[in-house]
Amino acid sequence: MTGIRAALGKDIMRELGSSQPTAVELEILRILWDLGPSPVRDIHARLYQAKGTNYSTTVKMLAVMLNKGLLKRNEQATPHRYRAALTRKQAGKSYLSELIEKVYDGSSMSLVLQALTTGKATRQDIAEVRKLLDDMEGQL
Amino acid sequence: MTGIRAALGKDIMRELGSSQPTAVELEILRILWDLGPSPVRDIHARLYQAKGTNYSTTVKMLAVMLNKGLLKRNEQATPHRYRAALTRKQAGKSYLSELIEKVYDGSSMSLVLQALTTGKATRQDIAEVRKLLDDMEGQL
DNA sequence: GATTCATAGCGAAAGGTTTCGCTGTGACGG
DNA sequence: CCGTCACAGCGAAACCTTTCGCTATGAATC
């Protein structure tokens, strides 16, 4: 089943040689995806709950991420409000492409098949996937 | 201006989970999945090609990975032969679960839908997925 | 036996991330 | 005013991963 190749630019980003969301960074992104634009307090509250780390640490991480371009913030408001610079969907796509490329050897279908068997699907879910398949087939 | 894409770059895989293989580690695993059990020389040849790093570095990484249990080796043979302790499939599953959990918020279907639209599928591929869906539905 | 060569490994440096102590600033209540 | 408090940020320590210089060992070669 190697018929399918990810149609995506492999390591475009690696070429640009920059940094990426690391462990804690991803955790913060998730919080922001969840909460929407938020002040440090709120972000910290969540992070603290999950990891028990210090307030300063949260502030610092936000600064680092802001610097990397992973976050944006509104400095007009007080306290400043931080928000993710990319959507969950965009991030997902990046991770997914990388995963397909590096582990599934470029075959997105291998991944799909595995993912399907990995989670529990409802009838609705299945129907939705079928619908998408129909659309895709229609476009061939 | 450090774009989002740039910021997402480097080694996404590694960041998904602390329990997961790191950047270089994954690279080495891929080499072993590809070559099968191999002596350091061969692994290094590939790694050098990709990254230009020193022979000692390769040896060290293998030692580290061996220590972490990511690799096994046959010490009977000379030179020793290293092999991956997990299959590509197992690793894939591990990353996938992590990805679903952390980015797709536990919804494997979200990921499947996105993955489907991310790659290009042939009629055969689609048929295969349909078949799987039928099976799954049958089990509900 | 001495020299050379491939193999194996150690320990520490280099480089990146995550952590936090401590400082500065402005708003607010007494 | 003055002390207190929330907000913001810096710099350096603590911690991993990755890199490599250097050493050790044994087999093959001179």
* pLDDT 10s digits, A11-20: 223 223 334 6
Res B34: pLDDT: 94
β-bridge pairing A81-84 and A71-74:
antiparallel
**Residue A42 vs residue B3, higher pLDDT:** A42
Res A20: pLDDT: 67
- Note the CATH number of domain A23-84: 1.10.10.10
Res B73: pLDDT: 95
pLDDT at A41 over 90: yes
Cα(A133)–Cα(A129) distance, integer angstroms = 6
Mean pLDDT of chain B: 86
Probe site for chain B from A71, A116, A120 (most B CB atoms < 10 A): A116
pLDDT at B100 over 80: yes
Cα(B126)–Cα(A9) distance, integer angstroms = 23
| Cα angle for residues A107, A108, A111 (degrees, 5° grid) | 100
Cα(B95)–Cα(B88) distance, integer angstroms = 11
Res B140: pLDDT: 85
Domain residue ranges in chain B: 12-84, 88-138
Enumerate the H helices of chain B as residue ranges. 4-8, 12-15, 23-35, 40-51, 55-68, 88-102, 108-118, 123-138
CATH-assigned architecture of domain B12-84: Orthogonal Bundle (1.10)
* pLDDT band, very low/low/confident/very high, at A106 (cuts 50, 70, 90): confident
Cα(A70)–Cα(B18) distance, integer angstroms = 20
Res A53: pLDDT: 95
Share of chain B above pLDDT 70, in %: 86
Q: Which of residues 34-93 of B touch strand C (CB under 7 A)?
A: 39-41, 56, 59-60, 63, 78-80
Identify the residue whose Cα has the smallest distance to the C1' of D26. Answer: B78
Q: How many CB pairs under 8 A join A and B?
A: 219
Residue listed under structure tokens 């869906």: B133
pLDDT at B10 over 60: no
Res A21: pLDDT: 87
Cα(A19)–Cα(A25) distance, integer angstroms = 11
Please report, rounded to whole angstroms, the spatial distance between the CA atom of protein residue A139 and the C1' atom of nucleotide D30.
72
* pLDDT 10s digits, A118-138: 888 899 999 999 999 999 999
Cα(B83)–Cα(B72) distance, integer angstroms = 5
Q: What is the ipTM of this complex?
A: 0.81
Q: Average the pLDDT over B86-115 and give the result.
A: 90
* pLDDT 10s digits, A50-86: 999 999 999 999 999 999 999 999 999 889 999 999 9
Please report, rounded to whole angstroms, the spatial distance between the CA atom of protein residue A54 and the C1' atom of nucleotide D14.
15
**Residue A35 vs residue A3, higher pLDDT:** A35
B56 nearest nucleotide via C1' and CA: D20
Longest dimension (CA), chain A: 55
